[in-house]
Amino acid sequence: MLAIKKARKLIEANPGEPAAQIITALVLALESETSISVAQLYKLDDKRFKLALEILDEWRLDRHYASKLRLIDSSTFVQEFNAANTPPQPPAKA
């Protein structure tokens, strides 16, 4: 099971639990590109701390894939633009 899915289940099942609140703060900090105190993460028990590390790892991987998708989209756009704006080429001489 993906860490992000585990985190969602934890947060939805126990939203008032301190661990759920810390994981929530981590997710929101990652999404908004703001900071979270390391001291908050240290308050987590071992299982939840490992979950936080897994979330960080998956978040980095997803960001990499999102960047790759944007690169592919941009490349496709440029290729289509260039194909549409390229003047017709004279037929090759035999």
Q: Which residue ranges make up each domain of the chain? A: 3-77
* Cβ count near 41 (within 10 Å): 17
What does the alpha-carbon distance between residue 61 and residue 66 come to, in Å, rounded to a whole number? 9
Pairwise CA distance, residues 80 & 54, whole Å: 39
4-54 pLDDT, tens digit per residue, is 889 999 999 988 899 999 999 999 999 888 999 999 999 999 999 999 999
Q: Is 90 helix (H, G, I), strand (E, B) or coil?
A: coil
Contact 55, 3 (CB under 8 A): yes
Instruction: Mention every residue, 6+ apart, whose C-beta is less than 8 A from residue 44.
Output: 19, 22, 23, 51, 52
Write down the pTM of the prediction. Answer: 0.70
